[in-house]
A and B are shown apart, each in its own frame.
Chain A
Amino acid sequence: MMRWILIAVFWVLLVGGALVYQEGRERSLVGAGYVAKELCSCVFVGGRELASCRPDIPPSMERVRADLGADRVRAYVPYFAERIARFEPPFGCVLY
């Protein structure tokens, strides 16, 4: 009996964990996309410093990290999502 209970708990945890991960991944993809696009455009089109742009990102996206490259911004949530926005003048920043 106990064995069947443990198997059921295992499957519940597995499926629940997968659903939670999927939900978190989808939200992280949007969040990383937002941060990559906003920061890329702010820096390369708006002509501002990254440190000036970052406070304009809503606090709800604080966990999204961002790296500034020569022509791009990489934004990511570790283990969940990564997005890149690339400056392609004269067309602004393109989110990939």
Chain B
Amino acid sequence: MRRRLVLLPLALWLLGAALLPTQPAGVPWPTERWAEGPPAGEVDRAALQAAGDALFAPVGRGGLPDTRALLAVQGGRLVWQRFADGFGADSPFRSWSMAKSVTNALAGLLVRDGKLALDAPAPVPRWQRAGDPRRALTLRHLLTMTSGLDNADGGDGAGSYVARILFGDLASDTARGAEQAELDHEPGTHWAYSTATSQIVSAIVARTVGGGREGVDAFVTRELRAPLGLRTLVLEFDPAGTPLGGGYVWASAADWARLGLLYLRDGVWDGRRILPEGWVDFTRNVAPAENNGTYGAHFWVSAKPAEDQFQTLRPGIEAFQMNGNAGQYVVIAPDRDLVVVRLGEMHATSWAQLNDRLGAFIQAFPQQAGAAR
């Protein structure tokens, strides 16, 4: 596994992916507070303002703008933030599926510590009986959504797997509900977006950490909240004590930006390696599968989508991102040394509109020669 992680940066470089920029000298890490300043470099300020205004323009049910928070971190500095009335710097925002990316971080911490391995059989006790084909599944398959399990999110609303897992008959024990899925594709060959799969990973994390939800929360405090200064991060749980790592994490816009900055900085924070070497490159590398063009490892990648896949941002932007229902975005753009956070709803906004306007906002920031190869 270690060799594959080390080789990934080389593979990404050969594919043309931007290198991950380091924190500029003299810019303090935002563990306590953000260094602030105006956008730097050849920023198109008029375009930036216009795109920001356009994102806040659609007003939905309840009379609130669909965009509730918009924030940009460039070169490690907080350079732009705006909130809808009633929301502010300390307001926690729900993740929806951006929780999957937090689950990626928790799995990465355990891989760093040698307690999990990407290519070892996924430690799911229910799958370990002799003859069970799910014994072949690995953490890599699960994180890249290429497990081949018959548990995809799509389908009829109330009867869909994701609805049953989060709110329906499987919600009382999401791990048990998710782990009952059977294989319908060879592992590693077919991509299918699945909140149930994220619940399987969440349960693996919880079992590996131990101590129930108290143990998981203490682990998160020790390994993420404290080193990064995440004062508003809340993980929610199901009644059985499994984190809802497929859909329910809360944090302020600034804390979402801190998590984005961790990935922009290759998993290193203020001189301390938080995520193992190569983990972020594994995360932002499009997973090989016949029908995948835009998914890495519990993160989306701005690339050409396969048929029926989600278009995450308009073409021309090199980024990887956390994405969640109703237009939650933490975009990490290495070649611009940029993290952009957009949080809110989509009552009066389509995905196409949101992707276009957010794309314009991102493209107002210049690509930086020092960040791209």
Contacts and interface: CB of A to CB of B under 8 A. Distances in A.
A16 interface: no
A31 B239 CA distance: 18
B61 A55 contact: yes
Given A29-B168, A29-B169, A92 B250 contact: yes
Contacts, number: 85
B238 A33 contact: no
Contacts of A45: 92, 94, 234, 236, 250
Interface residues of B, number: 32
A91 B168 contact: no
Contacts of B227: none
Contacts of A54: 62
A78 interface: no
B38 interface: no
A93 B248 CA distance: 10
Interface in B125-183: 157-159, 163-164, 166-169, 171-172
Nearest to A59: B61
Interface in B213-272: 213, 217, 234-239, 248, 250
Interface residues of A, number: 28
A30 B234 contact: no
B277 interface: no
Contact of B86 (A27, A41, A52): A52
Contact of B345 (A33, A56, A95): A56
Contacts of B158: 26-27, 30-31
B213 A46 contact: no
Contact of B239 (A41, A52, A95): A95
Given A46-B93, A56-B61, A90-B217, A26 B168 contact: yes
Given A41-B94, A46-B250, A91-B237, A52 B167 contact: no
Contacts of A59: 61
B24 interface: no
Given A26-B168, A90-B234, A92-B234, A48 B62 contact: no
Given A94-B237, A95-B239, A26 B159 contact: yes
Interface of A: 26-27, 29-31, 33-34, 37, 41-42, 45-48, 52, 54-56, 59-60, 83, 90-96
Interface of B: 60-62, 64, 86, 91-94, 157-159, 163-164, 166-169, 171-172, 213, 217, 234-239, 248, 250, 345, 347
